[in-house]
Structure 1
Amino acid sequence: MNVLVTGGLGQIGSHVSEMLLARGDKVVVIDNLATGQRHHLADHPNLTVVIDTIANRDKVFELCREHRFGAIVHTAASYKDPNDWYNDTLTNCVGGTNLIQAAAEFKIGRFIYFQTALCYGLKPLQQPIRLDHPKLPANSSYAISKTVTEDYLEISGIDYVSFRLANVIGPRNVSGPLPIFFQRLSEGKKCFVTKARRDFCFNQDLARAVLKAVDGTGRGAYHFSSGKDVAIKELYDAVVQAMDLPTYPEPEVRELGPDDAASILLDPSRTFQDFGPVEFTPLSEIAAQAVAYFRKHGVTGGYTHLKHEEKK
């Protein structure tokens, strides 16, 4: 199969691309390098890397016309700056609709999308959150713009799967607390944790589910989640342990910020029903692999959708 992977040099897209290549598929990656890194994908005879933006409608249609893809895996997303509404809408909305319309015009068989759990708002009405929860994305530019593309998918008539994600982390992760903890601890700086709870899932566990979706499993919206949440401090402790620090640096514990959710816990029952059992990698192993990656390649980003100053 020929597969287009948008954002293919990012943490999710690069792992999906590697797994597709390993089984013999041909992969075209498009990435604008806003958060992706070229070193995430080694050269491969079946890999084509295009440095461009999915907001470039002509390029998107040119690639789809030339390669006749069997599937699009759309991982590209803008999330670097919570106040950058322009690039969020340009990539997440305009880019997303470019891809959907190209998929329809060129009759591309499958469209795999990745939605944020923030589509349910900062104070979900259910715990855990079910797929029938109303969408309430008016909490951040990221949530709003990501939800727009899913809404377009729902009216497009194309065959799609949308994974509404728990917190996906691991090697190549450039957003959220994991790279921030590593960087600050490496520099001997104090970290803080909030009282929030999250479901941290390994990016390669997600990538394996994505390959099933590419091959035809599922239709419509799914939660990719273990169904269990942990305190942010547990991730912090896992990073400290993986770094094998000589003493334990006690973190400052802070209250939640005004734009942060106390818990994001998703009900994964439909995913388990349609995709089969998922073996979730333990948090300690996720942290160990991420720390090994950061030590080899350095840490970049630490981006967050949150407006309050996460890094201080």
Structure 2
Amino acid sequence: MSTLVVGGAGYIGAHVVRLLADRGDDVLVVDDLSTGVGHRVGAAGLVELDIAAPDAQERLELVLREREIDSVIHFAAKKQVGESVERPVWYYRQNVGGLVNLLGAMESTGVTRMIFSSSAAVYGQPDVDIVTEGVTPQPINPYGETKLVGEWLMADCARSWGLRWSALRYFNVAGSGWPELGDPAVLNLVPMVFDRLADGRRPAIFGDDYPTPDGTCIRDYIHVLDLAHAHLAALDGLDGEPGENVFNVGTGTGASVREVIDTIGEVSGLDVTADIEPRRPGDPPRLVASPDRIRDHLGWKAGHGLSDIVRSAWEAWQAGPRRI
């Protein structure tokens, strides 16, 4: 199997690249290196390319043909909720425009297998304790909208030219499979806490007045290595009979922001007393996955809990240049 991993130098993508290489697949990475790091792809080839650029489709077609790619795993997207609220046009241009270029190149070259990095943000603020894939998507921010549009577009391509695809709706990703593959961007809760502690500042909680037991947002935290294995399961699942296309990737268990920060304190031994800051726009109070569909259809389930996630993330941070 020859797989193109778009965004493969990033946090999640690098884990998937390593797992693919470890099982003997031929892997090529396309990444603009805006947040990814080139050396994280290991022995895989790397093409530096912004897939939202005007000439991206033509360049992608060359890559797909020259390397005889038969499958694509697509991670490359902007993902900050608050930023998407402030810059919606740019988010659509990057996330939807980049996917259009990629799918156009796939159609032109006859590549018909795609795994898409979607998000629990497509659900918005569902009024349920556990979110199943049957919940009607109602995103509340442009980031979530771009992911839902991506799913619609792939469904249209399936009807038009036979695209075989799956979209993985991630919940909150954290941790590290290997210390050298820790999250390099300070965009998610756990590295944001580490970043503040490294600077001698307190962690920040964005709002403590949500309708949750401790007033802070509740999320389903998934270990990045579990998530990476879910991509391989989804990729291999494309070989079977067409079935479900959309899968939640989570644990079915929620943890509040305050609980995560407290766990960081337990693992690190540091004082994690937090400052309370205003809510960020577009943050729902609670998002917890039902992982039943991906278990039943693909045989995947999470193997790590919150303590494992935080401990692995802490080891990765301490192996980096800003050891605390």
Q: Structure 1, residues 251-271: CA drift from partner, whole Å, max 9, x if none?
A: 235674442111011222111
Match of 1:260 among 266, 283, 286: 283
Cα separation, 2, equivalents of 1:127 and 1:197? 11
CA displacement at 1:125 relative to structure 2 = 3.3
Match of 2:316 in 1: 293
Would you say how many aligned residue pairs link Structure 1 and Structure 2?
292
Matched, 1:49 2:52: no
Matched residue type, 2:37: Q
- Do the aligned partners of 2:250 and 2:302 also contact (CA within 8 Å) in 1? no
> Which structure 2 residues correspond to residues 149-164 of structure 1 after superposition, within 5 A?
149-157=150-158, 158-164=163-169
Q: Structure 1, residues 89-115: CA drift from partner, whole Å, max 9, x if none?
A: 232111111222322332324200011
Q: Structure 1, residues 123-171: CA drift from partner, whole Å, max 9, x if none?
A: 213331221222222x222112222211101111110010011111123
Q: Structure 1, residues 241-285: CA drift from partner, whole Å, max 9, x if none?
A: 33232xx33223567444211101122211110122514312112
**SS of match in other structure, 1:33:** coil
CA displacement at 1:219 relative to structure 2 = 4.1
Matched residue type, 1:88: Y
Match of 2:136 in 1: 134
Cα separation, 1, equivalents of 2:41 and 2:231? 18
Matched residue type, 1:68: E
- Do the aligned partners of 2:132 and 2:290 also contact (CA within 8 Å) in 1? yes
Cα separation, 1, equivalents of 2:34 and 2:62? 22
Match of 2:61 in 1: 61
- Do the aligned partners of 1:163 and 1:223 also contact (CA within 8 Å) in 2? yes
Matched residue type, 1:151: W
CA RMSD of aligned residues (A): 1.9
Cα separation, 1, equivalents of 2:253 and 2:302? 13
Q: Structure 1, residues 184-223: CA drift from partner, whole Å, max 9, x if none?
A: 1122211232410000001110111111222235640011
Cα separation, 2, equivalents of 1:149 and 1:298? 36
Match of 1:305 in 2: none
Matched residue type, 1:131: E
> Which structure 2 residues correspond to residues 1-312 of structure 1 after superposition, within 5 A?
1-42=1-42, 44=43, 47-55=44-52, 56-79=56-79, 81-82=83-84, 83-121=86-124, 123-137=125-139, 139-157=140-158, 158-171=163-176, 172-173=182-183, 174=185, 175-193=187-205, 194=208, 195-216=216-237, 219-245=244-270, 248-253=271-276, 256-298=279-321
Q: Percent identity?
A: 27
Cα separation, 2, equivalents of 1:91 and 1:258? 20
Matched residue type, 1:206: L
Bigger mean CA deviation after superposition, 265-274 or 2-11: 265-274
**SS of match in other structure, 1:297:** coil
Matched residue type, 1:7: G
**SS of match in other structure, 2:304:** coil
Cα separation, 1, equivalents of 2:21 and 2:290? 31
Bigger mean CA deviation after superposition, 253-262 or 112-121: 253-262
* Cα 1:54–1:261 shift into 2, 3 Å: same
Q: TM-score, normalised by structure 2?
A: 0.84
Matched residue type, 2:310: A
Matched residue type, 2:143: Y
- Do the aligned partners of 2:262 and 2:272 also contact (CA within 8 Å) in 1? no
Matched residue type, 1:168: V
- Do the aligned partners of 1:125 and 1:133 also contact (CA within 8 Å) in 2? no
* Cα 1:240–1:40 shift into 2, 3 Å: farther
**SS of match in other structure, 2:234:** helix
* Cα 1:103–1:290 shift into 2, 3 Å: same
Bigger mean CA deviation after superposition, 144-153 or 13-22: 144-153
Cα separation, 2, equivalents of 1:141 and 1:97? 17
- Do the aligned partners of 1:53 and 1:91 also contact (CA within 8 Å) in 2? no
CA displacement at 1:295 relative to structure 2 = 2.4
**SS of match in other structure, 1:215:** helix
Cα separation, 1, equivalents of 2:77 and 2:305? 26
Bigger mean CA deviation after superposition, 82-91 or 287-296: 82-91
Cα separation, 2, equivalents of 1:12 and 1:159? 22
